[in-house]
A and B are shown apart, each in its own frame.
Chain A
Amino acid sequence: MSRQYNPAVSAYNNMDIENLPSVKEKDTSGLLTRKSNDMDKSMDYSSPSIRVAKQLEVIRKHRNEIDVA
């Protein structure tokens, strides 16, 4: 079967979610701790591709859990 061009293949392969900056958990959790997060500044959440990547990351995590189980 010849392979026709499908945009889904390139769209999926170009989602580099493995290299997304991960959220670091803070050591302190008191009321007076600063709320600023360096990771949030490095990622532009207004960008649709970043939002899609975050959604994809969540679903991939669930999928990996199913595969392991």
Chain B
Amino acid sequence: MLLSNEPSFDGPIPGQSLTAEVGARPWQSPSQYTTVDEVIEYYMARMTSEDFMLQLVDVMEMGIPVTTLANTIQMSSVMEGIHTVDTGMLVLPVLMEMMMLLGDSAKIDYVSGLENPDKGKTRKSFLAKAASQYKESLSKTDVKELVEESKEEEQEDDTSSGLMARRK
């Protein structure tokens, strides 16, 4: 793995989670909706609003996968304390299906995110394995012997074979 020498400023500062009282964050208090039905109802009401639909269609047209959008939406709701992580995970397929329904009804081309982009490509691990096997086989074989053998073969091939050539 390639490690960068440059410091990363994206992550939280160590101890940052201890800077607020326990229960002060929205996700640390009881969630607003507790059952799957309530959460689905909440999202359906949000997703059928015109503003949301227009924004969603724009974002989907930009090529952002539906899976990423659905996960981001549910995760932000968890952070706002609207529902818990487990109910969020459960309603993810419904969110995705609803988004795809909106995309289909708007007749736009969208990326579902369900296809594997690496499908059909050669794995890097496979290439590394092949390279290591090749190196291993090279170390086992005597290269000098092989070179001499090939030279002898070349010399045999060079002997003239014309009609006027001397017979051995």
Interface residues of A (CB under 8 A from B): 1, 3, 6-9, 11-13, 15, 48-49, 51-52, 55-56, 59-60, 62-63, 66-67
Contacts and interface: CB of A to CB of B under 8 A. Distances in A.
A52 B117 contact: no
A11 B101 contact: no
Nearest to A49: B90
Main secondary structure of the interface of B (DSSP, over half): helix
A3 B67 CA distance: 12
18 contacts: A1-B117, A3-B118, A7-B92, A8-B71, A8-B93, A11-B90, A11-B92, A48-B36, A48-B87, A52-B36, A52-B90, A52-B91, A52-B94, A56-B93, A59-B101, A66-B104, A66-B105, A67-B104
A57 B145 CA distance: 69
Interface residues of B, number: 29
A9 B118 contact: no
Main secondary structure of the interface of A (DSSP, over half): helix
Nearest to B86: A48
A51 B87 CA distance: 12
Given A7-B89, A11-B89, A48-B90, A59 B98 contact: yes
B70 interface: yes
A1 B111 CA distance: 14
A50 B98 CA distance: 17
B114 A51 contact: no
Contacts of B67: 6, 8-9, 12
A62 B98 CA distance: 10
Nearest to A63: B101
A49 B86 CA distance: 11
A11 B93 contact: yes
Given A6-B71, A9-B67, A9-B113, A52 B105 contact: no
Contacts of A63: 97, 100-101, 104
Given A9-B113, A11-B92, A51 B37 contact: yes
